[in-house]
Amino acid sequence: MDLENQKRVKEFAEKYGPENIVVILGAAEGEAAGLAAETVTNGDPTFAGPLTGVQLGLSVFHICEPEIKELVDESVYDEQVGMMEMVLDVDDIISEMTAIREEFSKYL
């Protein structure tokens, strides 16, 4: 995750309390989604950014995961995400995200 975004995530977690935050990702691949999810839960796995060694344990989902999709107005989802969802490997994304949440999320 880019360093500026890591900084902002850290600031918001301090400001609002990590238990009050949900991060929603739009990554194109399971691996990228998993890396971003790991960054906001267990710390930056690349050891480059402000979240290195910071275990925020935030609640984190991908927009295409059923937990989020079912909350969104269906027509808006279709219009905004539908096309991309067809070309994404959603099963891979769900499997990566679920693994990271189970291991590192503190607020589920």
Name the residues that contact another protein, by CB under 8 A.
Answer: 1-2, 5, 8-9, 12, 16, 20-29, 32, 35-36, 59, 61, 63-64, 67-68, 71-73, 76-77, 79-81, 84, 88
Work out how close the CB of 54 gets to another protein at its nearest, in angstroms, rounded to a whole number. Answer: 15
- Residue 18 — φ and ψ, nearest 5°? -60, -25
Residues 6 or more apart whose CB falls under 8 angstroms from that of 99 comprise: 34
Exposure letters 34-57 (e unless 16+ CB within 10 A, then b): bbbbbbbbbbbeeeebbbeebebb
Which residue's CB is nearer to another protein, number 67 or number 99? 67
Which residue's CB is nearer to another protein, number 72 or number 103? 72
* CA 75/CA 1 separation, integer angstroms: 30
Q: Token pair of 71, please?
A: 């909350």
Which residue's CB is nearer to another protein, number 64 or number 100? 64
Work out how close the CB of 3 gets to another protein at its nearest, in angstroms, rounded to a whole number. Answer: 10
Work out how close the CB of 50 gets to another protein at its nearest, in angstroms, rounded to a whole number. Answer: 14
